[in-house]
Amino acid sequence: MKAFDKQHILHPYAPSVPLADMEFVTSASGVYLELENGKKIIDGMSSWWSVIHGYNVPELNGAANKQLAKMSHVMFGGITHEPAINLAKTLLDISHQNLEHIFFSDSGSVSVEVALKMAYQYHSSQGDKQKSKILAFYKGYHGDTFGAMSVCDPVTGMHSAFEAVLHKNIFAQHPECRFDAVWDEKYIEDFQEKLDAHHHEIAAVIIEPIVQGAGGMRIYSPAFLKRVEELCKEYDVLLILDEIATGFGRTGKLFAYEHADVTPDIVCVGKALTGGYLSLAATLTSKKIIQGIEANGNVLMHGPTFMANPLACAIANASLELLLQSPWQTRVKNIETQLKTQLKQCESLAIVKEVRVLGAIGVVELHEATDLAFFTPAFVQQGVWVRPFLNLVYIMPPFIISESELKHLTSALYHVIQEFQIYKNFKDSSC
């Protein structure tokens, strides 16, 4: 099977002929992935932010089986069903009171596409077709579909191959103020200048609240997000918050925007929505936006085949119930405290530039670019699964991880980074 995979199956951001062998996972339970040789390794990535409850969760398995006995899918055009209605009720209850409408889609990238369409249609339906651009941020990441790519970092992002065909948007300097920084207006100057110069053609601002994810794992001050909101209101520009990675408790708040007490016009959620079981996302917005879109008899022009898939919605309902009834705030706070204490030892390594932590997110930034050919087998040898990128070694474990399991994970980070430093020094001296 691995040979077939290597010859025929494409993997994320990887060449058709992989540079290294894939790890073959046979099963997963709790925080562990079991490999073909029987070795169990701790998943420090929560399968890219999504598996907040761990794997093979009885409550989610039960919800899936119960829904399968009824129907796994039905089109959403002209039809509705209980799992979607219950999920919409819960999401609207736990999110900002300004958000009153919800659009379900099948991935985070598509939820961003829907958000961009909402912003464009809101202005164009009222006769202002000049507002056709989005103001985004350098170092931002919002997905891999075309609209989403157009608001990702255009310089150091992953989508430069498509520059010629992407919609040309406007970009402001990424947030440079640390989470606990004393606020200074200099941090927002570039954003304000871009908004002042181009507000007549800007439909919306899009930003990842508090944590810029795949663009660099930057954790910034809530005061920055608050000033973004204030300026959007001042210049009559909509505010889109991309909570796909940060939503559902990852930063210590249910939604990261709660750190800044802002009122968004549109919010995108996904990843952890189903606890990592199935792909499902949602775009939440206000009555004002929907009424604006529907001016002059228009409707929002989007409709995925698997919109509000009943099976995914049923599992999402069970996942949210499990989350909300759990002591998730205490769990995330304990993870944060342990990460801050145990990752601090990485600062003693010369190759480490900075360590930063927020909620259940731990980031070790290196002075050197990482090397997957080195890191992947080294981490597996240590009994953990960690997937570095750029110059970042980062973890976001499931919320259910125990103190001892997390200690194993943070110790592995330190030892592998230490080994990488020795490896780099030897390699550089050989050259």
Does residue 318 carry a pLDDT above 80? yes
Residue found under tokens 């001050």: 221
Check residue 287 and give its pLDDT: 97
User: In 293-381, where do the E strands start and end?
Assistant: 352-358, 361-366
The better pLDDT of the pair 324, 161 is held by 324
User: What digits encode the pLDDT tens for the residues 380-406?
Assistant: 999 999 999 999 999 999 999 999 999
Section 169-192 average pLDDT: 97
Please name the residues in contact with 244: beta carbons below 8 A apart, sequence gap of 6 or more: 108, 111, 112, 142, 143, 268, 269, 270, 271, 281
Q: 370-384: string of b/e by CB count within 10 Å (b at 16+)?
A: beeebbbebbbebbb
Closest CA relative to residue 265, chosen from 291, 285, 293, 244 = 285
pLDDT band at 215 (very low <50, low <70, confident <90, very high): confident
Query: Of 10-14, 132-136, 167-171, 419-423, where does mean pLDDT reach its minimum?
Result: 10-14
Identify the helix (H) or strand (E) that includes residue 422.
helix 403-430
Q: What is the pLDDT of residues 27-62, one digit of tens each?
A: 999 999 999 999 999 999 999 999 999 999 999 999
43: three-class secondary structure by DSSP: strand
Catalytic residue numbers read: 13, 141, 242, 271
Flag whether pLDDT at 161 surpasses 90: no
Instruction: List, in sequence order, every residue forming a beta bridge with 206; answer none if it has no partner.
Output: 240
Does 228 score more than 80 pLDDT? yes
Query: Is the CB of residue 99 less than 8 Å from the CB of residue 285?
Result: yes
Higher pLDDT: 12 or 245? It is: 245
User: How much is the average pLDDT of 319-343?
Assistant: 98
| Domains of the chain with bracketed CATH | 2-56+328-430 (3.90.1150.10), 62-324 (3.40.640.10)
pLDDT in tens, 100-124: 999 999 999 999 999 999 999 999 9
Question: What percent of the chain stands above pLDDT 70?
Answer: 100
Residue 179 has pLDDT above 70, yes or no: yes
Measured distance CA(146)–CA(168) in Å, rounded:
11
What pLDDT score was predicted for residue 312?
98
Q: Lowest-confidence range among 15-24, 44-53, 329-338?
A: 15-24
pLDDT higher than 90, residue 296? no
Give the integer Cα–Cα distance in Å for 294 and 296.
6
| The CA-based dihedral angle spanning residues 47, 50, 53, 54, taken in that order and rounded to the nearest 10 degrees | -10
pLDDT for the residue numbered 431? 63
Residue 126 or residue 71, greater confidence: 71
Give the integer Cα–Cα distance in Å for 95 and 255: 8
